[in-house]
A and B are shown apart, each in its own frame.
Chain A
């Protein structure tokens, strides 16, 4: 045993160094395209398409100025944020009791229901766009934020249930039982005791819902035209104009990372604390 301790003691630092090297190389790979987007966002359209430069030759914020002064651009951000936040709140709210049911009880059809939920992520968007359009037109929700938020629940709710169920299963059932004995009603127990206990799970779930709703384009574009048009759809507009407006597009792209980066910054401790996902 002594020998093995020695060898692991000898080998651990060098392994850590390789690990660090790998991590740095990978982060460079991750950041390179993002650097290029930032780089493009600081250059003029002409400079982008005509010449290669490792560093932007000028530091111009003109592209950003366009976005912040043109309502067609900044409204896109506001619209996206509204429906993404709505979707996140709605998805987590409906997923919480369901995840509790899956983690605490068995009931007829529970396993089938769980898998059925997942199957809703598996529908290829292309052909479902038209039925979605017809459905939301029929109920008069076209071009509203709530329509996109509702449509995005199809892929976010199953994921939210799955993640939350993992966190809830890690909470010992004795806590629930003690609360029943103390005379708590279910809603009061759930809101006052249980939800605070799985705060980390709610944070992580909210991050995933936010992310998947933020980056989705096809449904969001189909269900909106003017009033709720998302930023990602605004960005496709630049293609139809005279040539591509690469600089503004890159600046808009840089700005789309900001809200999500803030969200992950707030939930970083919850992710670093770890979660295991019980149900397999």
Chain B
């Protein structure tokens, strides 16, 4: 911030509606889950307090450890692919005119498809016998069957996620790029800066704000991915695409272990919180180290 914001405690009144509306739908269910997590629920009206038992059980669960590793790999791959790809798309998009409008509308389409439909489309689209992608790959002589090979299943889920969410990164980065005043580019031209230097020292620092939101959103949402792989692969073959959310749902709904599932989801939540906090501070510090903070 260029100038120091005045201290005004009455600003709380302006924040109150947000606080109440979010707290209503977030804190009450959260407290219910905390309550479940320390009890053994035997029936609708009988439960026994078990303390930290479920937490210990969940932390020892080796299936959970492998789901967590799979999840971390997946979210890492998602970020590594979608963020650079989104920035590159934003740089390649036309700045104005009907072409820009057309590209924006076309690019945003995957974002607007309900998540279960995304899974359904890709389920057919990737089939080697009747789907465009599977058929084309097979024609090129690639042995591709996502319902049998875990590598193929994994790649399909990842490519589906890239297809689905890179447009979000691109839209945000595009909006960020358009907000950079022309004067910055003129100054760079006078200095004879290379294209890379312009990107590294003007565009990237100016994109920090929008990229922060893109990285955090993509991280949280990919870490909780459920509907799309559930529809596409059902977590298989084997457990190769069973990510944390799906494992959790199997526990909560399939086996009806509500106590352990609640403990699991709180640990899950804390992991996301911790990693988001690390990312948040990392991006914030990367900006101040450059000495070119936005606004």
Q: With A30-B109, A113-B15 known to touch, is A40 a contact of B114 (CB < 8 Å)?
A: no
B212: which A residues are within 8 A, CB to CB? 277, 280
Is B124 in contact with chain A by the CB < 8 A criterion?
A: yes
Interface string of B271-295 (1 = CB under 8 A from A): 0110011001001100100000111
Name the residue of chain A whose CB is nearest to the CB of B285: A280
Say whether A97 faces chain B, with CB atoms less than 8 Å apart: yes
Chain A residues 1 to 25 lying within 8 A of chain B, measured CB to CB, are 1, 4-5, 8, 11, 15, 19-20, 22-23
| B23-31, B59-67, B140-148 - the one binding chain A | B23-31
Q: Is the CB of A124 within 8 A of B244?
A: yes
In the complex, identify which listed stretch (A57-65, A66-74, A261-269) lies at the interface while the others stay far away: A261-269
Contact among A120, A157, A249, A274 with B120 in the assembled complex (CB-CB below 8 Å): A249
Question: Is the beta-carbon distance between A256 and B112 smaller than 8 angstroms?
Answer: yes
- Does A195 count as interface, using CB distance less than 8 angstroms? no
Alpha-carbon distance A108/B171, docked complex (angstroms): 34
Task: Knowing A34-B109, A124-B244, A162-B213, say if A107 contacts B121 (CB, 8 Å).
Answer: no
The answer to whether A260 has its CB under 8 Å from any CB of chain B is yes
Residues facing A in B213-249 (CB within 8 A) are 213, 216-217, 220, 224, 226-227, 244-245, 248-249
Chain B 5-64 residues near chain A, CB threshold 8 A: 5-12, 14-15, 17-19, 21-22, 24-26, 28-30, 32-33, 36
Interface range, B side: 35 or more
Which chain B residues (107-126) contact chain A, with CB distance < 8 Å?
Answer: 107-117, 120-122, 124-125
Shortest Cβ distance from A265 into B: residue: B105
Question: Which residues does chain A contribute within 8 Å of B262, judged by CB atoms?
Answer: 127
| Contact A153–B25 (Cβ < 8 Å) | yes
**Cross-interface CB contact of A134 among B32, B112, B213, B277, cutoff 8 Å:** B32
When distances are taken between beta carbons in the complex, the residues of chain A under 8 Å from B80 are none
On whether the beta carbons of A52 and B265 are closer than 8 Å, the reply is: no
Chain A minimum-CB-distance residue to B31: A131
A256 touches B114 (CB 8 A): yes
User: Would you call B283 and A117 a contact (CB within 8 A)?
Assistant: no
Contact A271 B110 (CB under 8 A): no
| Residues of B with C-beta under 8 A to A36 | 121, 124-125, 131-132
**Known pairs A101-B15, A217-B227, A264-B105; A26 contacts B89 (CB<8 A):** yes
A56 interface hit (Cβ, 8 Å): no
Q: Which residues of the partner chain A approach B15 to less than 8 Å between Cβ atoms? A: 97-98, 101-102, 107, 113
- Is the beta-carbon distance between B12 and A30 smaller than 8 angstroms? no
B248 x A127 contact (CB < 8 A): yes
Are B264 and A127 neighbours in the complex by a CB distance under 8 Å? yes
Of the candidates B121, B175, B283, the one whose C-beta lies within 8 Å of that of A37 is: B121
A271 adjacent to B11 (CB under 8 Å): no
B130 touches A52 (CB 8 A): yes
- A276 close to B210 (CB less than 8 A): yes
Whether A122 and B108, one on each chain, are in contact in the complex, defined by CB atoms closer than 8 angstroms, is no
From A121, A122, A154, A280, B208 is in contact (CB under 8 Å) with: A280
B83 interface hit (Cβ, 8 Å): no
Q: Choose one: B8, B22, B93, B208; the contact of A157 (CB below 8 Å).
A: B22
A193 close to B (CB within 8 Å): no
Bound-state Cα–Cα, A221 to B234, Å? 19
The one of B101, B112, B209, B248 that contacts A277, using a Cβ cutoff of 8 Å: B209
**B179 an interface residue at 8 Å Cβ cutoff?**
yes
Which residue on A lies nearest to B176, using beta carbons?
A276
Nearest Cβ on chain A to B201's Cβ, whole angstroms: 16
Known: A101-B15, A118-B216. A232 touches B117 (CB 8 A): yes
Smallest Cβ-Cβ distance to A37: which chain B residue? B121
B157 at the interface (CB under 8 A from A): no
Known A36-B131, A235-B116, A276-B294: A113·B22 in contact at CB below 8 Å: no
CA distance A140 to B14 in the complex (A): 29
Closest to B24 in A: A150
**Interface residue B183 (Cβ < 8 Å from any Cβ of A):** no
Q: Mark A92-116, 1 if CB is under 8 A from B, else 0.
A: 0111011011101111101001010
> Bound complex: CA of A211 vs CA of B12, how far in Å?
29
Smallest Cβ-Cβ distance to B180: which chain A residue: A274
18 A-B pairs (CB sep. < 8 Å): A26-B89, A32-B125, A33-B133, A36-B131, A98-B15, A107-B15, A117-B18, A126-B248, A127-B33, A128-B265, A131-B36, A204-B175, A249-B117, A253-B117, A261-B108, A272-B101, A278-B1, A280-B284
Assuming A101-B12, A105-B8, A163-B213, what are 14 further A-B pairs, CB within 8 angstroms?
A19-B92, A48-B124, A101-B11, A105-B5, A110-B11, A120-B26, A125-B245, A132-B29, A135-B29, A170-B179, A217-B115, A260-B108, A261-B108, A272-B174
